[in-house]
Amino acid sequence: MKPSEAKERIERLRREIEEHNRRYYVHNQPLISDFEYDILINELDTLEKKYPEFKSEDSPTQRVGNDIKNEFEQYEHKFPMFSLGNTYNEDEVREFDARTRKTISEQIKYTCELKFDGASISINYRKGRLFRALTRGDGLKGDDVTDNVRTIKSIPLSVSGSNIPEDFTVRGEIVMPRAVFESLNSERKKDNLPAFANPRNAAAGTLKLLDSKIVASRNLDCLIYAVLSDELTHDTHFDNLIAITAWGFKVPDTIRLCSNMDEVISYISKWEIERKNLPYDTDGVVIKVNDLSAQEELGYTAKSPRWAIAYKYKAEEVLTKLVSVSFQIGRTGAVTPVANLEAVLLSGSTVKRASLHNEDQIALLDLHLGDMVYVEKGGEIIPKIVGVDHSFRNEDNRKIEFITHCPECGTALVRNDGESNHFCPNYLHCPPQIKGRIEHFISRKAMDIDGLGEETVDLLFSNNLIRTFADLYDLRADQLTPLDRIGEKTASNIISSIGNSGAVPYHRVLFALGIRHVGETVAKTLANRFSNIDSLIVATFEELTEVNEIGPKIASSIISYFSDPENLEIISRLRKSGIRFSAEHQQIKTGDILKGNIIVISGVFRKHSREEYKLIIENNGGKNASSVSGSTTFILAGENMGQSKMDKANQLGIPMLNEDEFLKKIGEE
């Protein structure tokens, strides 16, 4: 066979095999037997080995898995992976609809999708080829599991069709069918290996294996529930999902477009029963506003989209015995009572502990030691006690009393007016609070210091090497190497990562300080209003509450934090270590000249990146949108602007500003 003939045959085999994969794994309509499929794969593999110049990472032969990798790299999500707010009854679903209608005046349609129980994945395609697959991670960054995802046959390695963006991302759920799960556990038991608790754990665990050959053997599946791009063809979520089925993606045929809330409730009721007949585990229904422009208008909270919500089906409930109650102290000093239970199997896993939330919850349940209690998993994740069977109660059982002093440092607990939790006020000297604040400080969304985790922080604390997070910057490698589980390389990496944290931007440093009630969003707001730590330290109550989203409780907490000399000493030490306490390095003009403007960015730019322009718009009071609608104020149009956006802008009469016109508008030379 001539090389040219081999190339033609290889390409024909690849197309034919991918079409069979699509029919088998996506449409469940196989045309050939497994034996015939194996013959095609073997022929392709033989030709690729004989003519290596024609080998491609997109070939179906590459799905069998590669050699073991030593670690997963992490990358940022282009589109953050937000979590969903949960509802548990019809009234809450209708409240979501009512909230939505307060913002959206046009007719609202919803898509309803079953919430499959697996591991979330984000897969990026560039120029028609699978480029990178990331796990959810913390929502901003995820682990690169591309090699493992390539082994999943329902995920196309390359796509073809009409109107495919040059760069797009699909979101989906990696799932393990129940039949595969049962077979896998049967094999593990034969090999004296521990069984997986449920298909979700098995899918998530498999996805993070370092050997993609094992991943390939486990027959995972992927169900796609979203497509994201700056250049989407359609203006609705439903139409975009239907479109990508033609590109080869497996979109569940259970998705439905609903015209009103009654149809949504009907969908929920139908699948509460019928979902049990599906090959995959499900735990609820995801309800999304269908129109993308409406999604943009509704926007996001710090954690969740306002245009989507998850309805969770009632969790499994079991009865077990309450053995004791212990009290845990968190990094903010909040006291959480925890019920210790006789072990019981619940939703596929063994439960020994459950949250009791606070003193009010204990009083509401009228809990006594030895009670037989009903336990369920809130959202099928966190176990909680939901009731007591009083018929089992012994008269001698002692009533559970909430503690009055911190079990760690002995300080009298306090409970502020209007708050449900008790907390220990000895925040600078209470061990779990100290360690908790250090763990928060080093976390990925804060200072992002690699090599340090809960166990290492505890090790450093118990060896008197750290008492505040400022102490981290005084550590030396020779102090770490004598400790258990820390060798020279690990010690060097920890010290290097601590040093690198000096590049973390000001708003994340504010979040890392662990000021009570100051989360990620509030920290960004404070950094935008007070450009350096010194101006924030001297800010008055009135100046703080004048800032949007800063209420009296947050303002009081900030003032209290900076009134403590020990906190100011920690900040002084961090400043000397090179930590950024100023936003002055950000040369981005700010103001309110774009207040009330909704702006769509499209195309390629010379003077700033797209992400920089998004930040410029936000810092000048404007709002970014990804799709063109009647509410769009104007389009910031770069070179090679998307044709679909241009057509819609012309149709709606929406002005388009080029890069120079936009910069002149905001006063930037």
The answer to whether residue 612 scores a pLDDT higher than 70 is: yes
pLDDT-based confidence at 590, cuts 50/70/90? low
Residue 491 pLDDT greater than 80, yes or no:
yes
pLDDT score of 192: 74
Three-state DSSP at 78 gives coil
Q: Kindly report the three-state secondary structure assignment for every residue of 132-151.
A: EEEECCCCCEEEECHHHHCC
Cα–Cα–Cα angle for 470, 475, 478, nearest 5°? 175
The β-bridge partners of 143 are 74
At residue 378, the pLDDT reads: 58
Whole-number Å distance between alpha carbons of 633 and 71: 46
What pLDDT, on a 0 to 100 scale, did the predictor assign at position 35?
65
The torsion angles phi and psi of 647, rounded to 5 degrees, stand at -60, -45
> Whose CA is closest to 400, among 340, 319, 489?
340
Residue 116 has pLDDT above 90, yes or no: yes
The 3-class SS string of 519-552 reads CHHHHHHHHHHCCEHHHHHCCCHHHHHCCCCCCH
Cα 499 to its chain centre, rounded Å, is 27
Delineate the domains of the chain, giving CATH numbers in brackets: 3-64 (1.10.287.610), 108-256+275-290 (3.30.470.30), 431-503 (1.10.150.20), 506-576 (1.10.150.20), 598-665 (3.40.50.10190)
Arithmetic mean of pLDDT, 296-313: 89
| Phi and psi angles of residue 224, each rounded to the nearest 5 degrees, phi first | -90, 135
Q: Give the 3-state secondary structure of residue 588.
A: coil
Q: CA–CA separation, 132 vs 57, rounded Å? A: 12
Q: Do residues 244 and 225 make contact, with C-beta atoms less than 8 angstroms apart?
A: no
Contact 24, 40 (CB under 8 A): no
Distance CA 300, CA 237 (A): 17
What is the pLDDT, as a whole number, of residue 65? 56
Higher-confidence residue of 201 and 23: namely: 201
pLDDT tens digit string along 502-552?
A: 989 999 999 999 998 898 888 988 988 888 999 999 999 999 988 877 889
Query: What confidence category does residue 285 fall into, taking pLDDT thresholds of 50, 70 and 90?
Result: very high
Q: Return the higher-pLDDT residue of 19 and 441.
A: 441
Per-residue pLDDT, averaged over 266-287, amounts to 93
How far CA 120 is from CA of 27, 137, 378, in Å, comes to 21, 9, 20
Cβ atoms of 169 and 247 closer than 8 Å: no
pLDDT tens, residue by residue, 31-75 = 776 667 777 887 888 898 888 888 887 788 877 554 444 467 888
Q: Is the pLDDT of residue 418 over 60?
A: yes
Rounded to the nearest integer, the mean pLDDT of the chain is: 88
pLDDT classification of 591: cutoffs 50, 70, 90: confident
CA distance 281 to 485: 39
User: Which is the catalytic residue, given 7, 102, 109, 115?
Assistant: 115
Taking the C-alpha atoms of residue 648 and residue 651, their distance in angstroms, rounded to an integer, is 5
Residue scoring higher pLDDT (326 or 592): 326
Q: What pLDDT does residue 495 have?
A: 95
Most confident of 9-23, 390-404, 634-648: 390-404
pLDDT value at residue 52: 87
- pLDDT value of residue 642: 72
Q: Which helix (H) or strand (E) holds 29?
A: none
Position 450 scores a pLDDT of 85
- Per-residue pLDDT, 441: 95
Tokens of 255: 């998705």
Does the CA dihedral 402-407-410-413 come out positive or negative?
A: negative
d(CA 46, CA 44): 5
Euclidean distance between CA atoms 668 and 351, whole angstroms: 59
Residue 584 has pLDDT above 60, yes or no: no
* pLDDT tens sequence across 549-570: 788 999 999 999 999 999 999 9
Instruction: Say which residue, 6 or 303, is predicted with more confidence.
Output: 6
* Longest CA–CA separation in the chain, Å: 91
Question: Rounded to whole angstroms, how far apart are CA atoms 552 and 560?
Answer: 12
Kindly report the pTM of this predicted structure: 0.57
Confidence of residue 588 (pLDDT cuts 50, 70, 90): low
Q: Which two tokens stand for residue 408?
A: 């760690």
Instruction: Report the alpha-carbon distance of residue 425 to residue 430 in Å, rounded.
Output: 9
Overall average pLDDT of the 116-138 stretch: 94
Of 272 and 211, more confident? 272
Q: 3-class SS at 69?
A: coil
First vs last C-alpha separation in the chain: 64
Which of 636, 641, 643 shows the shortest CA–CA distance to 666?
Answer: 636
Tell me which residue of 146, 177, 161, 151 sits closest to 64, measured CA to CA. Answer: 151
User: Which pLDDT score is estimated for 158?
Assistant: 94
Is the predicted pLDDT of residue 580 greater than 60, yes or no?
yes
| 245-249, 397-401, 451-455, 575-579: least confident range | 451-455
571 phi and psi angles, rounded to 5 deg: -65, -40
Residues 602, 604, 609, 613, Cα dihedral to 10°:
-30
User: Quick one: 428 exposed, middle or buried, by C-beta within 10 A (0-12, 13-18, 19+)?
Assistant: middle
Amino acid at the residue 630: G
Nearest to 286 by CA among 41, 134, 114: 114
Dump strand ranges (E) for 26-183.
74-76, 86-87, 110-116, 119-126, 129-135, 141-143, 167-175
pLDDT at 626 > cutoff 90 = no
Question: For the residues 268-293, what does the mean pLDDT come to?
Answer: 93
Q: Please, which residues have CB within 8 angstroms of residue 316's CB and are 6 or more apart in sequence?
A: 346, 347, 376, 377, 380
- Annotated active-site residue 445? The verdict is no
Q: Does residue 355 surpass a pLDDT of 90? A: no
